[in-house]
Structure 1
Amino acid sequence: MGELNGGPVRIVLAGAYGHGRSHLENLRRLTGLGLVELAGVCDVLPVDADRLHGLGAPEQARPEDLAGLIERTGAQITILCTPIDTHAELAVTALRAGSHLLLEKPPAASMADFERIAAAVEETGLACQVGFQSLGSAAVPAARKLIASGELGEVRGIGVAGAWERPADYFTRSPWAGRRRLDGRDVVDGALTNPFAHATATALAVAGAEERGAIASVELELFHANPIESDDTSAARIRLADGRVITVAVTLCATGRTEPYLLLHGSAGTARLTYTTDDLDGTVHPRTDLLQNLVEHVRAGAELLVPLARTGAFMEFMEAVRLAPDPLPIADEHQTIHPGRREVPGVRELTDASAERLALFSELDVAWAAGSGGKEPRTARGNARELRVAGTPVASYVWEPDLPATDSPRPYLHPVRTLGGVEVTEYRPDDHVHHLGVSLAISDVGAVNFWGGRTFVRDRGPSWLGDHGRQRHDAFEETGDGFAEELTWLGPDGAVVARERRTVLAAALPSGGPSGASGDVPGAAGGDAWMLDFAFTLTVREPLEIKSSACKGRPGAGYGGFFWRAPKSSPDVAVFTGEAEGEQAVHGSVTPWLALVSGAWSLVFVQLGHVDPWFVRVAEYPGVGPALAWDRPLAVADTLSRRVVTVVADGRLDRAAAGRLARAAGAPS
């Protein structure tokens, strides 16, 4: 990196097209002031001389050579204005190459990517300023001062409204526009997270709730009028940890443009902040350019206006949007379709009403949002096949899922149902979004995370490491009651970690099961039950160790292997084995069968062959699975085989009935 001196600060711009044009204009201004010099431009396309007029002849490079460009030019600052899904990789690259960073908003597509950038900032000691330009406005501290003064009384909430018009080609301007995911990568481009990202970020800043932990919960109502994957008309309610509320209602389907604003609701009055014009109740406040602030930080140690940590709460909101169910379509009958654009009549007034009443769309008596309430269930996505027992559908096996990398994408079974139609699995629940019904999930296979979520690190705790693998479906082989499947387990770099042969069968219980003893099965509807037979053989390329979090110092966290996540909403969930009862007693026990029961269903798990300790959760959430590496690593030199048969029954079973079903499924007497 070049030495700091009294001359211009050397800059590299990554992303010269799209919004990058505004950065080029600002660079011309700052170059004219003698503050900066554009030393390099990084883009997938060549940047013509006309676009760089007045900025000299900066060296050009492609994104994969960003580190080399920084090193060759001695750039002290990199402006990163590239697609959202590239932010983490390029930000970490720039920081580790020795460059401070101006990172366009939103900072990252996921919390995992945000944490990667934060770790690189801490590691390098360099600055990362996030391009929420509205947070450089003096109107924000003025609004906070107004709240603190008590002039508005007790401020109970902030309503945000934004209504813009966007043509249809806005959503086709780039491959990632209007997408939630692209080629398996999170993008999360939508009205809330991109064009109106400033709205939420400014409201959080005014509320003094900017860092992680400030948000208690998020309710979302995501819609789209345009034929896109993401949202173009949405509402959100953010509940802060201190009890205050922020609502955000925005649309890209209005006619014309009005300036978005914040409405502060106090017991003694209200105040209005138009964040695009820095106008707080008629007083226009000055705004500091964020690149200029970063230059002053690099040259003289000026305090950053929008350091990465100040956007942590926004990223919690962004993560909620990422994990939400896909947006619902607004039917054509509720739209006016103009040449080249779509309008939702009355939507501007609707955003105003939301800000005034701190209400969601579903609470404002609008036909296209009626009944949404943000409560649409999460749905399985990807290619799936159905399993049946005697003609009755009992399970859906999703063999090619569309999931973010942080979920460690893998085939899974969901929904799984009793013969009576009661659902007994849960998919991507809020408490653990990487729980996928029934799947084979292992937290550490040769240092690759095939479980999903954060990886436990000794003396550090759960951490985002970018170490997620995925299970790739290769082929099916049909059998009478199900299928055999060939899979390849791939690391984050695409390298093969292991290969697997899996069999999944759905069948009625053999003779002597509950159908012949229904009177002895309390609560089971006529003794109706079926069994899911799940077996696998994992073959490793070279000797490796399988580990759980417990192996790394987290007591009791021995999870990893076949895992069944049951519905959290089920009433009166209990767990028992043939010898013990209750979560504490059976967690870690080594016994051939275990039953998880509720008022509506019963699951009897039977390990055939090798018996591992049971990992059990009931109080936090209902989940069960044999633990391959309970408290010490499991060395695998060549192959590893396991088989679990699960009896799925309607109603609540007692220990005696569950034992009979377990024996019918193959458990030893």
Structure 2
Amino acid sequence: MTAEGSAPTSVLLVGLDGFGRQHLLNLQRLAASGKARLIAGASYSDPGPEVRGDIPVHPTLTEAREAGHRPDVVIVSTPINTHRDLALEALEMGADVLLEKPPTATFAQYEELLDAADRLGRRIQVGFQSLGSHALPALEELLAAPDAPGAIGQLRAVGATGLWLRREAYYARAPWAGRRVLDGVQVVDGVITNPLAHAVRTALHIAGARDADDVAQLGTELLHAHRIEADDTSTVSLRTTEGIPVTAALTLCAPEDHRPPWVTIYGTEGHAVLYYTEDRLEITPNREAPFNAGDAGEPRTLEFERSNLLENLIDVRTGEAERLLSPLRESGAFMRVLEEVRTAEDPAQIGEEHVEQVDSGPERHPVIPHIEDYAARAVKAPSTFSSLGAPWAAPAATSGSLALPGADADEAQTVAELRTGDDISPTDSPRPFLDRVRTRGGVLVSDQQPLDHTWHLGVGVALQDVDGTNFWGGRTYTREDGRYIWRDDHGRIVIRAQQLDDDAHSQRLAQQLEWIDRTGATLLREDREVTVTGRDERSWVLDFRFALAPAVDRGVSLGSPGSNGRAGGGYGGFFWRLPALREAEIFTAQASGEEDVHGSVSDWLAISGRFDAAQVAPHLGAGEATLVLASADEDPWFVRYSGYPGVGRSLAWDAPVVARPGEPVARRVRAAVVDGLMDREAAAALGAELSTAPSPTTR
């Protein structure tokens, strides 16, 4: 109720149809409570008296003003391209404004509107309804007490996921639908800025990115599968001035409508998921966190009420509430995102070969296969569709490829991509790696940025502890804590020089790399040499050598979780992340199975099974293949299969290794990549062949 004796707030609604119908229903509720009174409407499309009731309806806001209406509040519920002009006119009438999202079509219009509201002393509430959720202040309390039982620690990242389905009829409903510009007027009606704008705005709010100045870095990846000019499948990659990454992975081309959309809040000790359309919060602390005792560490679901934004605006006007829940000024970060979308190159069309067309006529809609998997990985990494290798997105950042020479250039067969790692998240320790490694028959035998460990990057070299810097990615295992913890300790490895040479039988890559810590200091210099050689029509050989030398005038310690006290966790050095693997046999000359092979020392190791690339690169092949890896070094094998598939040669199994000036740490692994399955006898013969191969000649 309004204060005793005060009159209801008078409201004029511009735009009675579409979402305006929801405003009409809400106004009926507020009228019944005595808080508001709808005095008139301005309709671009009048739904009729059965919806609007007995009020005067004018064709435009200008005509309503000329008719003498002076409302306390004007609601603007019209197409995006009309928002600026109508809101300015409402302010000039002396009204406060409830403005539907997005507030304006350009950042310049947004700033103009801000200036006008300040100059005239009026309020503008933006219709991001999710910001009225009582789950948001509950989240703020949760993050404000990171060490409390059942908490998720300190805020680390925020991700928004929206997997919706829209049909042809959705874009046929209005001339502006799916347009970036209409008749020379900015519209910007894409998945980021309209249907799933609430997901983006809510994620920004949680991350503390509200004002325009809260945004430090920003990028978008815009695509569409519908026959429109705006985006319908996109990512937003943003970093706040406080260093919090915010990622949105959104599509209107999912195989089904995944409602509700959600925002994931990643903490250092767990995560929470907010289903913002339902005001439902699911909190999952890490069970290993030391303060999570008993029920405090169990997942729990909380449900909340929601404050209505129009009612909140009225309450601020009457003094019953202190602040607006969605003030225009706090849409600044979102408007930076909208401006990035508006000024970006036109969205790329996703090729028909990557899309499944479902139904026909008005019900027709495109489906992007595996879009759910790509969205999940993009948000968790965080990453982009391109970096994840989606076949319908732009190519990832590479420095070339490795190919088996043929009789002529046209017959050369690419067997791996050379990723620079420049597009990898800082917390995944960016570094160069071999991506999309495949057999001669096209079976993919490597993975990168998988959902279970987004810092696993194809085939390469990584270490979790180099003088205290994490060049592996993810959490760090420390002896002091006796567990994995999130630390601001991630480094990156960059390419300083590269050369590719080939002859009639092989191709050789030589790279000079620098290992740089978080302060920008170079700890190590690496010389890496990779050679690919055709063996026969079913197989080829990868020869991978690296040498790590200090870049400082002292010894540099190379360690692992194993050397820091985690039993069996001696991973680091050469590592090969595999895609999904089924019915696999893992063996050496002396041992069989993951448990026995893991931690063993032998000249060779074989993995033979069915590689399934469906969630990694569905456009590449799945099938039976065998990897035989050989090394003369005395390092143990690191093997994983039951939890995730991967194999490596452990450089620091249970004790650190020191690279000293003039004494680099050098290792070599040779691997045969073979189509089909191999038994122990055939693998042993191949392992012996690889083990006795001479070192390649330096060119």
TM-score where L is the length of structure 1: 0.53
The answer as to 2:71 corresponding to 1:51 is no
**Which of 70, 77, 80 in structure 2 is aligned with 1:74?**
70
Q: Which residue of 1 aligns with 2:88?
A: 92
| 1:467-616 correspondence runs (5 A) | none
- Rounded to whole Å, the distance in 2 between the matches of 1:127 and 1:301 is 15
Deviations 1:505-558 (A, max 9, x none): xxxxxxxxxxxxxxxxxxxxxxxxxxxxxxxxxxxxxxxxxxxxxxxxxxxxxx
Q: Which residue of 1 aligns with 2:338?
A: 318
Q: Which residue of 2 aligns with 1:121?
A: 117
| 1:440-455 correspondence runs (5 A) | none
> CA distance change for structure 1 residues 94 and 348 in 2, over 3 Å: closer, same or farther?
same
> CA distance change for structure 1 residues 188 and 159 in 2, over 3 Å: closer, same or farther?
same
Q: Which residue of 2 aligns with 1:63?
A: 60
What RMSD in Å do the two structures reach over aligned CA positions?
A: 2.0
The answer as to 2:269 corresponding to 1:280 is no
> Which amino acid counterpart does residue 98 of structure 1 have in structure 2?
G
> Which amino acid counterpart does residue 65 of structure 2 have in structure 1?
G
| 1:122-141 correspondence runs (5 A) | 122-141=118-137
- Rounded to whole Å, the distance in 2 between the matches of 1:68 and 1:231 is 37
> Which amino acid counterpart does residue 205 of structure 2 have in structure 1?
A
> CA distance change for structure 1 residues 195 and 4 in 2, over 3 Å: closer, same or farther?
farther
Q: Which residue of 2 aligns with 1:37?
A: 37
> CA distance change for structure 1 residues 5 and 361 in 2, over 3 Å: closer, same or farther?
farther
**Displacement after TM superposition at 1:364 (Å):** 1.9
- Rounded to whole Å, the distance in 1 between the matches of 2:340 and 2:70 is 39
Q: Which residue of 2 aligns with 1:333?
A: 353
Q: Residue 254 of structure 1: SS of its match in structure 2?
A: strand
Equivalent residues of 1:362, 1:372 under 8 A apart: yes
- Rounded to whole Å, the distance in 1 between the matches of 2:41 and 2:109 is 24
Equivalent residues of 2:229, 2:347 under 8 A apart: yes
Deviations 1:232-288 (A, max 9, x none): 111110011122100000011113322111112222211111111111111011110
**Displacement after TM superposition at 1:180 (Å):** 0.6
Q: Residue 164 of structure 1: SS of its match in structure 2?
A: strand
> Which amino acid counterpart does residue 221 of structure 1 have in structure 2?
E
Equivalent residues of 1:66, 1:90 under 8 A apart: no
Deviations 1:433-473 (A, max 9, x none): xxxxxxxxxxxxxxxxxxxxxxxxxxxxxxxxxxxxxxxxx
Equivalent residues of 1:215, 1:238 under 8 A apart: yes
> Which amino acid counterpart does residue 141 of structure 2 have in structure 1?
K
> Which amino acid counterpart does residue 158 of structure 1 have in structure 2?
V
Equivalent residues of 1:4, 1:299 under 8 A apart: no
> CA distance change for structure 1 residues 5 and 146 in 2, over 3 Å: closer, same or farther?
same
The answer as to 2:262 corresponding to 1:238 is no
Deviations 1:409-437 (A, max 9, x none): xxxxxxxxxxxxxxxxxxxxxxxxxxxxx
**Displacement after TM superposition at 1:152 (Å):** 2.4
The answer as to 2:339 corresponding to 1:342 is no
Equivalent residues of 1:77, 1:99 under 8 A apart: yes
Q: Residue 40 of structure 2: SS of its match in structure 1?
A: strand
**Displacement after TM superposition at 1:47 (Å):** 4.2
> Which amino acid counterpart does residue 130 of structure 2 have in structure 1?
S
Q: Which residue of 2 aligns with 1:265?
A: 266
**Displacement after TM superposition at 1:46 (Å):** 3.9
Q: Which residue of 2 aligns with 1:365?
A: 389
Q: Residue 82 of structure 1: SS of its match in structure 2?
A: coil
> Which amino acid counterpart does residue 123 of structure 1 have in structure 2?
R
Deviations 1:481-517 (A, max 9, x none): xxxxxxxxxxxxxxxxxxxxxxxxxxxxxxxxxxxxx
Q: Residue 194 of structure 1: SS of its match in structure 2?
A: coil
Equivalent residues of 2:16, 2:46 under 8 A apart: no
**Displacement after TM superposition at 1:156 (Å):** 2.2
Deviations 1:300-334 (A, max 9, x none): 35221111111111111111111111100111111
**Displacement after TM superposition at 1:210 (Å):** 0.6
Equivalent residues of 1:221, 1:372 under 8 A apart: no
| 1:100-115 correspondence runs (5 A) | 100-115=96-111
**Which of 315, 321, 327 in structure 2 is aligned with 1:296?**
315
- Rounded to whole Å, the distance in 1 between the matches of 2:5 and 2:370 is 56
The answer as to 2:254 corresponding to 1:254 is yes
> CA distance change for structure 1 residues 4 and 11 in 2, over 3 Å: closer, same or farther?
farther
The structure that has the greater radius of gyration is 2
> Which amino acid counterpart does residue 314 of structure 1 have in structure 2?
F
**Displacement after TM superposition at 1:4 (Å):** 12
> Which amino acid counterpart does residue 369 of structure 1 have in structure 2?
A
The answer as to 2:145 corresponding to 1:149 is yes
Deviations 1:616-642 (A, max 9, x none): xxxxxxxxxxxxxxxxxxxxxxxxxxx
Q: Residue 87 of structure 2: SS of its match in structure 1?
A: helix
Equivalent residues of 1:144, 1:207 under 8 A apart: no
> Which amino acid counterpart does residue 100 of structure 1 have in structure 2?
D
Deviations 1:169-216 (A, max 9, x none): 111211111011111111111000001111111111111221120001
Equivalent residues of 1:262, 1:355 under 8 A apart: no
Q: Share of identical aligned residues, percent?
A: 39
> Which amino acid counterpart does residue 277 of structure 2 have in structure 1?
T
> CA distance change for structure 1 residues 98 and 66 in 2, over 3 Å: closer, same or farther?
farther
- Rounded to whole Å, the distance in 2 between the matches of 1:141 and 1:66 is 41
Deviations 1:91-149 (A, max 9, x none): 00001111110000101010111011111111111111110000111111221222221
- Rounded to whole Å, the distance in 2 between the matches of 1:96 and 1:184 is 26
- Rounded to whole Å, the distance in 1 between the matches of 2:56 and 2:386 is 52
- Rounded to whole Å, the distance in 1 between the matches of 2:266 and 2:218 is 19
Equivalent residues of 2:389, 2:395 under 8 A apart: no
| 1:187-206 correspondence runs (5 A) | 187-206=187-206
5+ residue gaps, structure 2, are 283-300, 399-699
- Rounded to whole Å, the distance in 2 between the matches of 1:100 and 1:301 is 16
Q: Residue 93 of structure 1: SS of its match in structure 2?
A: helix
> CA distance change for structure 1 residues 349 and 25 in 2, over 3 Å: closer, same or farther?
farther
- Rounded to whole Å, the distance in 2 between the matches of 1:280 and 1:309 is 26
- Rounded to whole Å, the distance in 2 between the matches of 1:47 and 1:136 is 27
> Which amino acid counterpart does residue 385 of structure 2 have in structure 1?
F
Q: Residue 45 of structure 1: SS of its match in structure 2?
A: coil
> CA distance change for structure 1 residues 59 and 372 in 2, over 3 Å: closer, same or farther?
farther
- Rounded to whole Å, the distance in 2 between the matches of 1:225 and 1:324 is 18
Aligned positions, number: 368
> Which amino acid counterpart does residue 122 of structure 2 have in structure 1?
L
Equivalent residues of 1:11, 1:76 under 8 A apart: yes
> CA distance change for structure 1 residues 285 and 64 in 2, over 3 Å: closer, same or farther?
closer
- Rounded to whole Å, the distance in 2 between the matches of 1:296 and 1:72 is 25
> Which amino acid counterpart does residue 370 of structure 2 have in structure 1?
G
- Rounded to whole Å, the distance in 1 between the matches of 2:73 and 2:26 is 14
Deviations 1:574-625 (A, max 9, x none): xxxxxxxxxxxxxxxxxxxxxxxxxxxxxxxxxxxxxxxxxxxxxxxxxxxx
TM-score where L is the length of structure 2: 0.51
> CA distance change for structure 1 residues 366 and 46 in 2, over 3 Å: closer, same or farther?
closer
> CA distance change for structure 1 residues 32 and 301 in 2, over 3 Å: closer, same or farther?
closer
Q: Residue 226 of structure 1: SS of its match in structure 2?
A: coil
- Rounded to whole Å, the distance in 2 between the matches of 1:333 and 1:106 is 33
> Which amino acid counterpart does residue 307 of structure 2 have in structure 1?
T
- Rounded to whole Å, the distance in 2 between the matches of 1:260 and 1:318 is 19
**Which of 79, 89, 97 in structure 2 is aligned with 1:83?**
79
- Rounded to whole Å, the distance in 1 between the matches of 2:64 and 2:24 is 21
